[in-house]
Structure 1
């Protein structure tokens, strides 16, 4: 009797030991957040990004939750804290998040970004040096066009000091230049084409910056490498169908390619990402 009881106790102990790893192991994470930079109204972002998020969720077999923000400052704060598992952000904002959290860039559009400085067609300013001490309008101090163009104006050949003013949108920048409220404006080279095409004939470009890699879709290091790779494959696969390409266009990942930090974003190590604290008076 004692022998049987002893054998049963040993068998129970073995079973308990075998079960302990399963009992103590944390369940696999099945839900992840994707934070998107608030470069459009939230209702527009929700409309454009929801199909993309639903597609990723289905392909990855996990729930992806879309996270939207009303203000850039909140988005910057949250991403630098590592609050989101996945982020889609402007290159300069991604770099700030990388500095704090080491987010990994996964995919990006293959279409580069380029900043430009433009004046009215009848303006007396013909070259960058003519704008020394003048007032130049941009969307905002942290917009990517402002950051890369400011870097070119302050560090490039014929670098100048100038006064900054912020207009809030590409259209407002263009209007400020057109109405003579400022001496020049700063935008991305495609922005006026997309947002204010009727004004194109009224302007003359006097500076174009070097081209840089556009907004990446990036993952926090805590996201398993296997899942990071799956995200990359899923996004690249969208480019194989007409419906997928429409989805990529809506989220500005047209003609996607794999992103590489050193090749694409190490440029920002030499750029002043903070910029002017106050608007010119």
Structure 2
């Protein structure tokens, strides 16, 4: 009888353990997603600027969003074009390249549009684009958005011209190259010199402005559930309702955010040469 009771006790104890297991086990791990950000600033700056938004989205959506930063633009392009990232923030032309390969979905963008410009020294003899035929024009690099959209305007617009390309690596270096007479003209976004080299503004004269285009989108890979895509869009738009939220958006250049639309915002790039000049002039 005692053995039976002992066996019964063992059975009861085992059942108690089985019922207790769900309570004692750890909570299920949150779903993890990777957000890849274009390396248009030093990694330390991007980490500082993007961390608040990543933490906010992770908390609001109940998922774990990991920020992925890059040292080289080519590695970023390779990752996004093979679909390694769940979410991306990239220049419009780079987004379009990823869309062609992976069909990334643009979710939200700033409402402030981008415009390229060609400028010369204030005392330059050149007063119109046609006079730059065969001359050397400096830009940040062959894949920068200002280079892509301005090159498109120079090669296909009214009075289209051929010219030599020189890549300077940064807006400030482009401005310096023009100022020192190393090149005949420079290419930037209309806001870049204002932001990066305001003291040089009075030294230049703009001779061409491109059409305006939609800026960098925050985009999602199609494998990200539609419900989560919509939640990200809603969460980003909600940030614009508070002063602290607007500060977070300003740091990641999503000022005055709006919902993005692929055809309306980025269909333009279907007619643009995204590869850039094949050779760099010396």
Structure 2 length-normalised TM: 0.89
Structure 2 partner of 1:54: 55
Structure 2 partner of 1:241: 242
Task: Give 1:279 deviation, angstroms.
Answer: 1.1
User: Partners of 1:224 and 1:267 in 2: how far apart?
Assistant: 27
Task: Give 1:257 deviation, angstroms.
Answer: 0.1
User: Partners of 1:99 and 1:266 in 2: how far apart?
Assistant: 11
Deviation string 1:61-105 (CA, Å, 9 cap, x unpaired) is 000000000000000000000000000000000000000000000
Task: Give 1:140 deviation, angstroms.
Answer: 0.2
Correspondence 1:70-85 to 2 at 5 A:
70-85=71-86
User: Partners of 1:216 and 1:209 in 2: how far apart?
Assistant: 20
Structure 1 partner of 2:129: 128
Structure 1 partner of 2:251: 250
Deviation string 1:177-223 (CA, Å, 9 cap, x unpaired) is 00000000000000000000000000000000000000000000000
Structure 2 partner of 1:87: 88
Structure 1 partner of 2:18: none
User: Partners of 2:177 and 2:56 in 1: how far apart?
Assistant: 41
Correspondence 1:105-124 to 2 at 5 A:
105-124=106-125
Preserved CA contact (<8 Å) 2:30 2:62: no
User: Partners of 1:133 and 1:28 in 2: how far apart?
Assistant: 60
Unaligned runs of 5+ residues in structure 1 are 1-26
User: Partners of 1:198 and 1:268 in 2: how far apart?
Assistant: 33
Task: Give 1:278 deviation, angstroms.
Answer: 2.3
What's the RMSD between the two structures over aligned residues? 1.0
Structure 2 partner of 1:212: 213
How many pairs align? 255
Secondary structure in structure 2 of the residue aligned to 1:217: strand
User: Partners of 2:135 and 2:30 in 1: how far apart?
Assistant: 54
Preserved CA contact (<8 Å) 2:111 2:258: yes
Unaligned runs of 5+ residues in structure 2 are 1-27
Structure 1 length-normalised TM: 0.90
Correspondence 1:1-281 to 2 at 5 A:
30-281=31-282
Task: Give 1:54 deviation, angstroms.
Answer: 0.2
Deviation string 1:116-175 (CA, Å, 9 cap, x unpaired) is 000000000000000000000000000000000000000000000000000000000000
Task: Give 1:277 deviation, angstroms.
Answer: 2.6
Secondary structure in structure 1 of the residue aligned to 2:77: helix
CA 1:69–1:251: 2 relative to 1, 3 Å: same
Secondary structure in structure 2 of the residue aligned to 1:272: coil
User: Partners of 1:269 and 1:240 in 2: how far apart?
Assistant: 35
User: Partners of 1:133 and 1:209 in 2: how far apart?
Assistant: 20
Secondary structure in structure 2 of the residue aligned to 1:108: strand
User: Partners of 2:280 and 2:246 in 1: how far apart?
Assistant: 40
User: Partners of 1:230 and 1:125 in 2: how far apart?
Assistant: 51
User: Partners of 1:52 and 1:171 in 2: how far apart?
Assistant: 28
User: Partners of 1:250 and 1:43 in 2: how far apart?
Assistant: 13
Task: Give 1:28 deviation, angstroms.
Answer: 9.2
Which aligned runs of 4 or more in structure 1 are off by greater than 6 angstroms?
A: none
